[in-house]
Structure 1
Amino acid sequence: MSGELLYEVRDHVAYVTLNRPKALNSISHDLDVELEQKWIEIDANPDIWVAVLSAAGDRAFCAGADISGGTGAHSSRLALGGGLTGIGGPLRVLKKPLIAVVHGYALGGGFELAMCADLIIAADNAQFGLPEVKAGIIGESGVMHRAIRQLPHHVAMALILTGERMSAADAERYGLVNEVVPFAELQQTAEKWAAKLTVASPLAQQAAKEAVLSRLGGSLETALATKYEPIEAYFHTEDVKEGRLAFQEKRLPTWSGR
Structure 2
Amino acid sequence: MTVGFSVENRVARVTLDRPDRMNAVDAATEKELEAIWTEIESRDDISCVVLTGSGQKAFCTGADLKGGATKSGLEYWAESRTNGFGGLAFRKSLDVPVIARVNGYALGGGFEMVLGCDIVIAADTAKFGLPEARVGRMPLDGGMVLLQRKIPHNLAMSVMLTGRQFTAAEMQGFGIVNETVPFDELDAAVDRWVSDIVACAPLSLKAIKQTVNRTGHLSPAEAQGLRTPALIRALQSEDAVEGVTAFREKRAPVWQGR
TM-score, length of structure 2 as denominator length: 0.89
Over the aligned positions, Cα root-mean-square deviation in angstroms equals 2.2
Summarize the Cα distance change of 1:139–1:123 in structure 2 as closer, same or farther, 3 Å threshold.
Answer: closer
Alpha-carbon contact 1:32-1:79 (below 8 Å) kept: no
Q: Which amino acid aligns with 2:23?
A: N
Distance 1:170 1:49, change over 3 A: same
In structure 2, relative to structure 1, the CA distance for the partners of 1:26 and 1:63 (3 Å cut) is same
Select which of 1, 8, 28 maps to 2:6.
8
Work out whether residues 36 and 78 of structure 1, in 8 Å CA contact, stay in contact via their aligned partners in 2: no
Taking only the aligned residue pairs, the percentage that are identical comes to 40
Aligned residue number for residue 115 of structure 2:
115
Letter in 2 for 1:14: A
Which residue number corresponds to residue 71 of structure 1?
A: 70
CA distance in 2, matches of 1:139, 1:114: 13
Aligned residues: 252
In the alignment, residue 60 of structure 2 is paired with which amino acid? C
Answer with 227-236 or 176-185: which moved more.
227-236
Aligned residue for 1:254, secondary structure, equals coil
Q: Name the structure 1 match of 2:150.
A: 150
- Partners of 1:234 and 1:240 within 8 A in 2: yes
Cα distance in structure 1, aligned partners of 2:150 and 2:38: 25
Uncovered stretches (5+) of structure 2, i.e. residues with no partner: none
Q: Does the aligned pair in 2 maintain the 1:85–1:92 contact within 8 Å?
A: no
Give deviations 1:50-107, integer Å, cap 9, x for gaps: 1000111221111101231413698895766542126xxxx45411010001122111
Determine if contact 2:17/2:23 at 8 Å carries over to the other structure. yes
Structure-to-structure mapping, 1:37-116, within 5 angstroms: 37-67=35-65, 68-71=67-70, 81-85=85-89, 91-116=91-116
Maintained 8 Å contact 1:27/1:81: no
Give the match for residue 220 of structure 1: 220
Distance 2:124 2:89 in 1: 25
Q: Does residue 1:198 correspond to 2:198, yes or no?
A: yes
Q: In the TM superposition, what is the alpha-carbon distance from 1:192 to its structure 2 partner?
A: 1.6
Q: Which moved more, 1:173-182 or 1:77-86?
A: 77-86
In structure 2, the partner of 1:20 is 18
Q: Residue by residue, what CA displacement relative to the aligned partner does 1:33-53 show, whole Å, maximum 9, x if unpaired? A: 221111122122211111000
Q: Which amino acid aligns with 1:234?
A: A
Corresponding residue for residue 129 of structure 2: 129
